[in-house]
Every structure is written in C-alpha cells, then in structure tokens.
C-alpha cells in the first residue's frame, strides 16, 4: 500500500501537484479541523463511495486519503474501499491530522471541540423514550420483549456520575417474538404470575445505584462506568454491579445504556430451574435473564 508522510505531503502541496486531499472523518470533524484544500466524504457513511464519486469522478485521479491518524483505521479502510471501487492512484496518509499538526503545519476549520461533558444536576428519566429489553431462554428456544420504565433519575456532581435509580413497570411486560396472539397472551400471563414475577404483589422492580465509578481507560462504545447498587424484584433485594455507558448529548440530556444478566432464582422465581427441580427435560427454563436497559434523561 502506498503511504506518505506529512513532510512529503506538504512538499507535494507546495509544488501544486495535481492531487485531491480526501478527509474521511464525519462532516462535523471536518468543519472543526482539516488540511487546506481538502474535500470531505465520511468513511463511516454507507454512501461513502457515492459521495466520493461526486467529488472525484475520474478514477485515475491522484487521491491522498487521511483521517485522525494512527492508530485509527479510518484512512486505511477508505483506501481499500476506493481501490476496490476502481480508483488507481490512492495514497494513504496514515499519520493524518495527528502527524500534520505535530509537525506544526497549518490547518483550516473552526477548531477542535471535545465531547460535551456531563453537566452537574439531576436528570429525570424520560418514560416515553426509555425502555428495557429482556431475553429469556430455555433449552430449545428463547423469547424477547420489553418492559416500560415507571420512573428514574440520574444525578451528576462535579462532572461525574454520582448516583442513579430506575423503576420498572412490571405490568407492562410485553413479548415481541411470539406472533400468535393466543400463545403471546399465555406467555405474558405466565410471566406475570407467581411462577415468575408475581406482578400483582410486586408491580415494580427497582434498581438503586449507591456508587458509580468511571472507567478511565474505556474507548467509545464500551462501558465507561461501573454502577454498584441493588436490585429489588419480587420483594427481594440483591446486590448488583452493572457496566454502563453514560454520555451527554448536550447540557440538558443524558443517555445511559447497560447490558447485564440477573439470576431470577435469587429473587424467588424458581419455575423450571434445573438447579432446583429434577427431571425437567424440555421444561427447563434458564436461570439467567438478559436485560438491556436504555435510559434517556432530561434535566429537571
């Protein structure tokens, strides 16, 4: 693969060589910082090749591709896509903006801005847009569905997540995979009765985070906090540690997402447990339930 360094690229630009500089990060980043004379097509967009075709219609054009710089793979992936699409003169400026600015070379744009920090305050969970998805399994099958939120809040102090809590409306349990309405209704009745969640006696399930710890080494897309707290379900309370992604979209909105499993038998739901009953055969139901919690919260 043909690569180029920042000094070599600068020399080509100063010599007015017939090259097209292609910035392959999102347009927001392009507006913040880019090399002079650059065009932009985002490698993360499905329409990347179509955008490039409009910007650079001649596939014999000399194209220098760059992005953030090592170790980010954005320019290398873009080069591979362009070459597969028939572009024959593609060069990978692998050092990207990192190397360019380290050399002290000029850039254009509004200036780089960081991700919005979590602003201090109390944020109430938006019950319309927040949801919990569940998956339960047995030996031969699985079912999945949703539970609505009954309430919740997130508190931030000194830019750090301090505590959080949420309640599930157990009367809202729904199954999404069973299309037969009779079997769907039968399963929901089964989940709501004493075999599973005893909803008539315990209409909510409640999680309270007693402490939250940031994971400083987390990269985007991985859990960046560990929530230590307790879950109360069927009137029983158990300690629970949840890995979560917490981010601010702006000063007034937070989003938290977490995926984890709970052992329902620890909360008195014993039906079909292979640890507690013998000779279940096809009637075994897995002890663990997978939960995906998505909370959108607005400043109070």
Task: Please list the rounded mean pLDDT of every run of 10 residues in the chain (300 residues).
Answer: 89 93 95 95 96 96 94 93 96 95 92 66 94 94 96 88 93 96 96 96 96 87 92 97 89 92 97 94 94 94
Closest among 121, 191, 206 to 161, alpha carbons compared: 121
Residue 48 · residue 41 · CB < 8 Å: yes
Cβ-in-10-Å burial (0-12, 13-18, 19+) of 15 comes to: exposed
Going by DSSP bridges, is the β-strand pair 131-137/121-125 parallel, antiparallel, or unpaired?
unpaired
State in words which class domain 121-299 has.
mainly beta
Distance CA 52, CA 41 (A): 6
Burial of residue 235, with CB atoms counted within 10 A of its CB: 0-12 exposed, 13-18 middle, 19 or more buried: exposed
CATH of 6-102, one of 3.40.50.2300, 3.20.10.10, 3.40.250.10, 3.40.50.300: 3.40.250.10
Strand partners, 212: 227
Cut 0.85: pTM above it: no
The pLDDT of residue 1 is 52
**What is the location of CATH 2.40.128.110 in the chain?**
121-299
**From-to residues of CATH 3.40.250.10 in the chain:** 6-102
């Amino acid at each position: 693969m043909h690569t180029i360094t920042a000094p070599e690229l600068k020399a080509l630009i100063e010599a007015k060589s017939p090259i097209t500089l292609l910035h392959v990060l999102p347009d927001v980043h392009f507006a913040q910082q880019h090399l002079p004379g650059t065009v932009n097509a985002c490698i993360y967009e499905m329409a990347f090749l179509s955008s490039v075709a409009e910007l650079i219609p001649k596939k014999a054009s000399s194209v220098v591709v760059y992005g953030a710089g090592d170790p980010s793979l954005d320019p290398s992936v873009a080069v591979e896509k362009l070459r597969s699409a028939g572009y024959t003169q593609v060069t990978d400026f692998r050092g990207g903006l990192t190397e360019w600015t380290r050399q002290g070379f000029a850039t254009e744009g509004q200036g780089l801005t960081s991700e919005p920090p979590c602003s201090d305050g109390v944020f109430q969970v938006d019950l319309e847009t927040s949801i919990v998805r569940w998956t339960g399994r047995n030996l031969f099958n699985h079912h999945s569905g949703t539970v609505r939120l009954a309430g919740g809040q997130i508190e931030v102090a000194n830019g750090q997540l301090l505590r959080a809590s949420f309640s599930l409306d157990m009367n809202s349990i729904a199954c999404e995979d069973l299309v037969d309405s009779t079997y769907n209704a039968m399963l929901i009745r089964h989940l709501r009765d004493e075999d599973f969640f005893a909803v008539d006696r315990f209409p909510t399930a409640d999680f309270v985070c007693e402490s939250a710890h940031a994971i400083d080494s987390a990269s985007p897309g991985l859990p960046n906090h560990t929530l230590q707290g307790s879950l109360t379900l069927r009137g029983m309370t158990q300690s629970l540690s949840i890995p979560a992604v917490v981010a601010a979209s702006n000063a007034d909105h937070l989003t938290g997402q977490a995926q984890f499993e709970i052992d329902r038998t620890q909360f008195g739901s014993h039906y079909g447990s292979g640890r507690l009953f013998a000779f279940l055969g096809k009637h075994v139901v897995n002890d663990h339930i997978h939960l995906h919690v998505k909370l959108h919260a607005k400043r109070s």
